[in-house]
Amino acid sequence: MKFYSTNNKELQLNIKDAVIKGLASDNGLFMPEYIPQLPESFFKELDNMTFTEIAFEVLKPYFSPVVPENKLQEIIDDAFNFDIPLKHVDGNINVLELFHGPTSAFKDVGARFLARVLSWFVKDMDQEVYVLAATSGDTGGAVANGFVDVPGIKVVVLYPSGMVSDRQERQFTTLGRNISALEVKGTFDDCQRLVKTAFLDKELNDKLFLTSANSINIARLLPQVVYYFYAYAQLEDKNKDVVISVPSGNFGNLTAGLIAYKMGLPVKRFIAATNINDVVPEFLNTGEYNPRTSVQTLANAMDVGDPSNFVRVLELFNKQLEDIKDSISGYVVDDKQIRKTIKEVFDKTGYVLDPHGACGYEALKDQLNDDEQGIFLATAHPAKFPDVVEEEIGSEVDMPDTMKQFMDKPKIKSEISSEFIDFKRYLLNNDQQ
């Protein structure tokens, strides 16, 4: 299979080159030349398959034969060494808990797979690879921990100053070794712009080997397709139409769900649940896409004003607005409602939501019909947001052991402005050290 640039379908690479480059040379995102259909036999066996068995069948069309099947299975088994359970919350609403990995966030799925497949792709290179990652919350920790101590790879995480929770920040600023953290005086969109601009800078690319670990990298995105099939496999009642609500910021998570849908996942529709950074819900209502500066909210990982992956959503539907609207609806949740939802769900069911999951739950509760079965994605452990969650539920949230290890270590970080020249200077100076 080849992968084309969203800016030029004639620009095509195999999976290895697409993953190593991260971003196409014309600033486009890579997309598979077609979406493979999974056979009927797969769906007949789905209920009895493990997560890693599902992963192999879903990812094989994209990565093999460039990645030999035995190597792909090895990467999958190593990357996905934690569970992703589906749990009942209330009525016809279920939650897919994506926070049981080493950094307690859904980004562990994509980041761990990317780290292993990229390491295999670059193992024979005689030049260090710089992995650049912009984060609005959880990507930084997942990428840093996925790549820590991987030979031949340096990671640079960019994050907006004051817009990432302390517990999220500690997961990527306390590691050191081959992980560098850059606190940017700006927004997540500024961080994302710096990463994209670096790929287009000739001097940087002549001197450094750059790639990306954000969901703009196709190997970060494709593993996320797997857990949609796993969620469906765990549903006890498959006689009702299924609706999935996805907390959405940079829209990689929803894009993965839509790819699963195009591969044959029997889902009726999706809900794009955002905070007040509502560029995509606005597009679904008006047909006009108006990116703007992101606004800080309690659901910080979704504070994105110009989501990169939305271009992939357009590609999946050939830019036909009505087809997009048939499959996706939008829903906007403000901070006041996030707090209210966390409290109400806990008081009623005892289930503890994080701010992002609260957006997904609220959207699903509002738009789900009685004759439908709903799933929302819980993308981060509520212990990452103690100031909000504990205030609303009136008690402490138990911190996973995987998070405790970061709490007492000193932060190691550098500060830069949002100007590209500062980021470029940092990368060039860092390479000389």
Among the listed residues 16, 107, 154, 365, the single catalytic one is 107
DSSP tag of 320: -
Secondary structure (3-state) at 156: strand
Contact between 179 and 172 under an 8 Å Cβ cutoff? The reply is: yes
Nearest in space to 168 (alpha carbons), one of 135, 138, 134: 138
Question: What is the four-CA torsion angle of 69, 73, 74, 79, rounded to 10 degrees?
Answer: 140
Q: Percent of the chain at pLDDT above 90? A: 76
Q: Give the confidence band of 127 by pLDDT, cuts at 50, 70, 90.
A: confident
* Measured distance CA(105)–CA(99) in Å, rounded: 4
Give the rounded distance of the alpha carbon of 269 from its chain centre. 20
Domain 83-105+219-400 classification at class level? alpha beta
Nearest in space to 341 (alpha carbons), one of 294, 377, 388: 388
Contact between 49 and 41 under an 8 Å Cβ cutoff? The reply is: no
Backbone angles phi, psi at 17, to 5 degrees: -70, -35
* Measured distance CA(387)–CA(238) in Å, rounded: 38
Nearest in space to 63 (alpha carbons), one of 52, 75, 53, 51: 75
End-to-end CA distance of the chain: 39
Backbone angles phi, psi at 95, to 5 degrees: -125, 135
* Measured distance CA(113)–CA(115) in Å, rounded: 6
Q: Give the confidence band of 237 by pLDDT, cuts at 50, 70, 90.
A: confident
Nearest in space to 96 (alpha carbons), one of 88, 261, 104, 369: 88
* Measured distance CA(357)–CA(96) in Å, rounded: 10
Q: Give the confidence band of 122 by pLDDT, cuts at 50, 70, 90.
A: confident
Instruction: Write the CB contacts of 273 (distance below 8 Å, at least 6 apart in sequence).
Output: 245, 246, 247, 248, 331, 333, 359, 360, 362, 363, 364, 376
b/e string for 98-107 if b means 16 or more Cβ within 10 A? bbbbbbbbbb
Q: For the chain, which residues make up each domain, given as ranges?
A: 83-105+219-400
pLDDT at 432 over 80: no
Q: Is 107 a catalytic residue?
A: yes
Per residue in 331-389, pLDDT (tens digit) is: 999 999 999 999 999 999 999 999 999 999 999 999 999 999 999 999 999 998 999 99
Q: Which two tokens stand for residue 357?
A: 């999951």
Q: From the CB of residue 288, how many other CB atoms can be counted at a distance below 10 Å?
A: 8
Backbone angles phi, psi at 140, to 5 degrees: -55, -50
Global pTM value = 0.89
Of 149-158, 271-280, 368-377, give the lowest mean pLDDT range.
Answer: 149-158
| Span 59-74, average pLDDT | 97
pLDDT at 230 over 80: yes
